[in-house]
Structure 1
Amino acid sequence: MASADLITSILKENLYEIFGSPSHEDRLQNLARLWNPDALFIDPFGVFKTHEEVSNAISGLQQEGWVFTELSEVQVTSPPGSEIGVARLRWGYGKASQEPELTGLDVISVKDGKVERLYTFLDSKSGN
């Protein structure tokens, strides 16, 4: 079973080193390190089944000068004796040093120390 500290670290690394990375090659390396090969990414735009599909989906999100920020503490739940841990993190995405243009919530399940599933829920664009 993954510890709460490990799950927290995985979720934060996922936010910054995968979703925050402008480099397709870096994302693929970090996906291989942090995600199981058969992990799924599910968001309002689709279900992404391979590391390549996930990285390509992220490429479409990248905006120059925009960064991800944590808007909450990571919350982890891991039932006693379970090999699966689940965590959530609220985040913002927008221009550095400004209010986020987009906010959302990531929920991950971790098994064997790697991401099994990532569910992303989008909240709103500010001003709308």
Structure 2
Amino acid sequence: MASVEQVTSLTKDNLHIIFGSHSHEERMKNLQRLWHPDAIFIDPAATVNTHQATSDSVAKLLNPGWEFQELGPVDVISPPGSDLSVARLRWGYGKAGEAPEVTGLDVVTVKDGKIERLYTFLDAKP
């Protein structure tokens, strides 16, 4: 079972070194390290279930000069005696040093210390 600290770190790493990486090779290396081989990523645009498809989806989201930022702490639920944890993280995405252009929420399920599912919710623009 992963500790709250491990799940928190995994959730932040997912945001920054997978979704924040412009390098396909780095993303693939980190997906293999941090995600289960059969992990599923669901967002409003698609549902993907391979590391390659996840990396391809991330590449479509990235803009030069933009970065992800955490908009709050990672909240973790880890029921005692369970090998499953659930975390949520609010994030923003936009030009470095400016207010985010896009905001959302990631809900991550972690099983046996790796990401099993990632559900991404986008906030509506006013």
Category of TM-score, reference length = shorter chain: over 0.9
CA offset digits 1:1-22 (Å, max 9, x no partner): 1100000000000000000000
Counterpart CA distance in 2 for 1:124 and 1:34 is 29
Residues 1-128 of structure 1 aligned to structure 2 (within 5 Å): 1-125=1-125, 128=126
Counterpart CA distance in 1 for 2:77 and 2:104 is 19
Counterpart CA distance in 2 for 1:64 and 1:124 is 23
Consecutive unaligned residues in structure 2, runs of 5 or more: none
Counterpart CA distance in 1 for 2:49 and 2:109 is 15
Counterpart CA distance in 2 for 1:121 and 1:57 is 15
Matched residue count: 126
Q: Runs of at least 4 residues of structure 1 off by over 4 A?
A: none
Deviation at 1:124, TM superposition (A): 3.0
CA offset digits 1:42-64 (Å, max 9, x no partner): 00011111000000000001100
Identity of aligned residues (%): 60
Counterpart CA distance in 1 for 2:85 and 2:2 is 7
Counterpart CA distance in 1 for 2:22 and 2:54 is 13
Deviation at 1:87, TM superposition (A): 0.3
If the length of structure 1 is used for normalisation, what is the TM-score?
A: 0.97
In structure 2, give the amino acid aligned to 1:11.
T
Consecutive unaligned residues in structure 1, runs of 5 or more: none
CA offset digits 1:40-87 (Å, max 9, x no partner): 000001111100000000000110000000001000001111110000
